[in-house]
Structure 1
Amino acid sequence: METLPTGISVLDREFGGGLPSGSVVVLKADPASQSELIVDRFSRPRECRYLTTVRSAEAVEASLTLDGAAESGEAAEGGDAGTVVEETDPKNPIDDVLAAAADLPERATLVVDSVEPLEATDRSRYGPFLTDLRGRIADAGGIAVIHAFKSESGENRVVTEQVADVVFDLRTTVTGTEIVNRLIVPKFRGGAALEEPLKLKLTDTVSVDTSRDIA
């Protein structure tokens, strides 16, 4: 199974080069966190179809990193392949996501930001949708990144996480003196999950936070 870089060098080191091709990845985070920075980085190493279900395409494009380079500062794999941002139909986002997955270039990335409008669908339709999505991503040998907000989760969130191959759980803690971001990887199908949380620094980029925790 081929390993595809995530666009975040520290994760690639932890996972032996990146994520297994064909993986469906869920990134859980608080809506008020800087999780969009991580989604942005995931979209960078290869061609990417970025589907936005809530924000406008213009808003997403404005928030993406302008140079399109990887987090390390090196050129993205295959050069600047580019990210195509599209809005889904508010009344039927599932069909738009499946159509994008069916047309996904080989080894490309599909981003769904965010998954809540899809999870609002009846479970009898949502479950088969995830199965179809996983099959189409596997056929393309690419990666699907599903951005999921914790406060908006409903009964279909369990199905989302069950089908997912990899689950990233970003936990943001705010104290009187600092904001601490820890990334937990409780599930990694086809690889090894992290044994400990990874402390990240999320400002205008993604890096490892080397500051020491003081009890």
Structure 2
Amino acid sequence: MVGRLHTGISVLDRKLDGGLPPGCVVAYTAKPASQSELLLYELTAARGTLYLSTERSEALVRHAIDSSKGRVGSPTVRHVSSADPLEEATRFTSAVPEGANLIIDTMDVLERAEPAAYVAFLNRLKEHMLDTGSIAVLHCLKGPEEPANRARTEHLADAVFDLRTNLEGSEIENHLSIPKFRGGGAPTETIKLQLSEQVEIDTSRDIA
């Protein structure tokens, strides 16, 4: 589709009719024990990327990306570490240039902010993505005690990518579904992925 920006992951681009619309904000939900970061790393190959880490240090994120067996880029990595993570993240995200990627890994730290301040942050983020024609991917960990603002993240997001990791017999299976894709036409089937050393489509069985 004309005007879409490639994600850099071919199977995902095919399912999204060429990629994501400029200005799109994606909430990417996954279990902490999955290898969900592999998808984030491969997104950096498509274009210039600002990678904000709220938990791991810059050195650890850089090492993980450099060690990846998949196709990756050379993102700018920054660690959000101040006493006011929402304010620091706002400063970083407002500097995202034209036609770039923004990755926030993970959102959980920011989602613990006061609701009104968090909603204001999300709105500023979305407006900046629209102004610059950029893409934001917000990595949201799933668990028994998700932050209170998680529903606000998913509501503002233009798209929700949900990675489900299950143990089937002796195999670990990863299924990516896209239940929400505002204005884009969400795929009606899940994408079975192999997340070992890189992101690949799993053709061992039919896609469920």
- Residue type at the aligned position of 1:208: I
1:87 aligns with 2:73: no
1:31 aligns with 2:23: no
* Residues 8-65 of structure 1 deviation map (CA, whole Å, 9 limit, x = unaligned): 1001111121100001111100000010001111222111110100011111000004
The alpha carbon displacement at 1:93 in A equals 1.7
In the alignment, the residues of structure 2 paired with residue 205 and residue 65 of structure 1 have an alpha-carbon distance, to the nearest angstrom, of: 12
1:171 aligns with 2:151: no
Q: Which runs of 4+ in 1 moved over 2 A?
A: 65-71
Preserved CA contact (<8 Å) 1:46 1:109: yes
In the alignment, the residues of structure 2 paired with residue 209 and residue 94 of structure 1 have an alpha-carbon distance, to the nearest angstrom, of: 38
The alpha carbon displacement at 1:69 in A equals 7.2
Q: Tell me the equivalent position of 1:140.
A: 132
| Root-mean-square deviation (Å) | 1.8
1:191-206 aligned at under 5 Å gives the runs 191-206=184-199
> 150, 153, 156: which is aligned to 1:160?
153
Q: Tell me the equivalent position of 1:9.
A: 10
* Residues 99-154 of structure 1 deviation map (CA, whole Å, 9 limit, x = unaligned): 22221111000110000010000112111110111001111110011000011522
In the alignment, the residues of structure 2 paired with residue 121 and residue 64 of structure 1 have an alpha-carbon distance, to the nearest angstrom, of: 28
Ranges in structure 1 where 5+ consecutive residues have no aligned partner: 72-79
In the alignment, the residues of structure 2 paired with residue 99 and residue 90 of structure 1 have an alpha-carbon distance, to the nearest angstrom, of: 12
Q: Tell me the equivalent position of 1:107.
A: 99
1:183 aligns with 2:184: no
Ranges in structure 2 where 5+ consecutive residues have no aligned partner: none
The TM-score with structure 1 as length reference comes to 0.89
The alpha carbon displacement at 1:90 in A equals 4.0
Q: Tell me the equivalent position of 1:41.
A: 42
**3-state secondary structure, aligned to 2:123:** helix
Which deviates the most, 151-160 or 19-28?
151-160
- Residue type at the aligned position of 1:201: Q
Q: Tell me the equivalent position of 1:50.
A: 51
Paired-residue identity, %: 42
